[in-house]
Each structure stands twice: as structure tokens, then as C-alpha cells.
Structure 1
Amino acid sequence: MTHLARTRPASGALVRRVVGTPAEVAATVALVRDSGRLLSMTRPQQLPDGHRVTVTIRFLNPRPIRAHRSRRGLAIAVPAVGVVAVTGYLAVQLVRAVIAVLPLIAGGVLVLTVIAVLLRRSSGRCCPGLHCPGCHH
């Protein structure tokens, strides 16, 4: 198993000690070298256990370390969720208010319909059974 140990960084570069089997260390060094970031490396040294080696490599940092993370997504999502919640609440309140007033509206429409029918029948030349002052019944 390859192990990268932290050591003191030098001028924008990272310094790591790679510990592992010779194949693992060679693969790690090849990966850094092929990416074009390898600056230098030490000669491999055999560890006392006889199976592992160690190499110290110096390479360019692949990405700058940012001290502050952006929370733009969270800053947009929270107000958007609040607007949706308030809109939903107001829609439910509007529907409840319309349902509560619906019998009054239906009664008013019924009264206006009856008045319109009575006015229409009484405006003609003949009397449909209701006596009006213009037919002399």
C-alpha cells in the first residue's frame, strides 16, 4: 500500500514521501511525472522490513487551496424555497376563503336570476298570468 506523508512544502510546490512496495512507488511517481507536475525526487531507499521502499517527491500543486468555500447555491436555494412555501400557503388560504363564501355567492346569483326572469316576463305585451299595471287585467 502506497503512503504519502506530508513534509514541508517549498515555494508553491508540495513535497511528499511515498512509502510502499517498489511497484506501488513506481506507479505513483509515474502518475505524477506523466501529469507534468513532477519537479524532483530522491533515490528509492529500502525500508528495514525488506518489502517496502520510500521516495520523497516534490511536485506542483494540482489546484490552489481555497480558504473560503462559496455558498452561492445555498444563498439562492433558501429564499427560493421560502417564496414557494409562502405562495403555496397563500393559495391554500385563497381557496379556503372562496369555499367559505361560495354559499353567499350562489344565493346572490340565484336571487339575481329570479329578478331577471320576473323583469323579462313583465316587459312583454301580454301578461303571462301575473297581473301588471300595463295589461288592465
Structure 2
Amino acid sequence: MPPIAILVALADPTRCRLIELLQGGPQPVHVLAAAFRISRPAISRHLRVLKQSGLISEKKFGRENRYALHPGKLAPVQRWLAGLLPAARITEAPAVVIPAVEQPLPKARRIPKPAATPVILVPALAAEAAAPAPAKPAVSQMGFDF
């Protein structure tokens, strides 16, 4: 059976980058967040997913929380992949830290608002426009938020 929780945690490039950053040892959240151009609350959400999967842990040191990687937790993924490809040998590669690529963000462009157009309701259609739309049944997203 595939290790779904770990694979879901690794399915996001930001979380994969966090794993790479933590290979060098435990890091506080502000150091991890400095490597990204997203908010600290967003980084905290990614860290929570990694923590729930067991790939990292959080330990409080004074006023800061440090996150540490547990590379041994990747063993179920390695075993599962080895079972899929019995002829291929999956070996543990040395830790490689990839530096963050600094790219300037594109400048924001101001899009002009379209001119307001008056809405004219035909009396026969006015009653239909005022009626609420029927509720759509909820669609299962299989745990994903789209």
C-alpha cells in the first residue's frame, strides 16, 4: 500500500524545497520563510502538512520554534517504489542543498475597469432574475480544496 500521507506532503514544490532546506539541520521558521516569496502564514501551513506526515518535527527553543527533518520517515516511500520497480535499485543519495533562485517579480499592471453598463430588466424576466438559483449538490473533492 502506498504511503499516501508522505506522498501528499511531497506533492507540493514548496514543501519539497522546505525538506531540502532542512537537510542542513534544524531551522527556525523565520530562516525557512526567508527562502520564499510567500507569507509566513503560508509557510506555516506547509510546515504543518509536513509535520502531520511525520517528515519533520517542531521543537521550541526559547521564543522560536525550530523544525527538524526526519529522513528515515522516507523509508516507506523508498520501499514502495522499490516494490514497483524491483529491477531498479534505489540508493540513498548524498544531501544536496539547492540555493534559492532569486527572480524579480513581474511589475503589476493596472487593468482599466470597463465602463459601467446599465442593466435593464424586462418585466417578464424581472421575476426570474429575483428568484434564487437552485442549490447545486456538493461535489466530492476527495480531500482536496480546489
By the TM > 0.5 criterion, same fold?
no
What TM-score does the superposition give when structure 2 sets the normalisation length?
Answer: 0.25
Q: Which has the higher contact order (CA 8 A, sep 6+)?
A: 2
Bigger strand fraction: 1
Q: TM-score, normalised by structure 1?
A: 0.26
The structure carrying a bigger helix percent of its residues is: 1
Instruction: Please identify the structure whose Cα radius of gyration is greater.
Output: 1
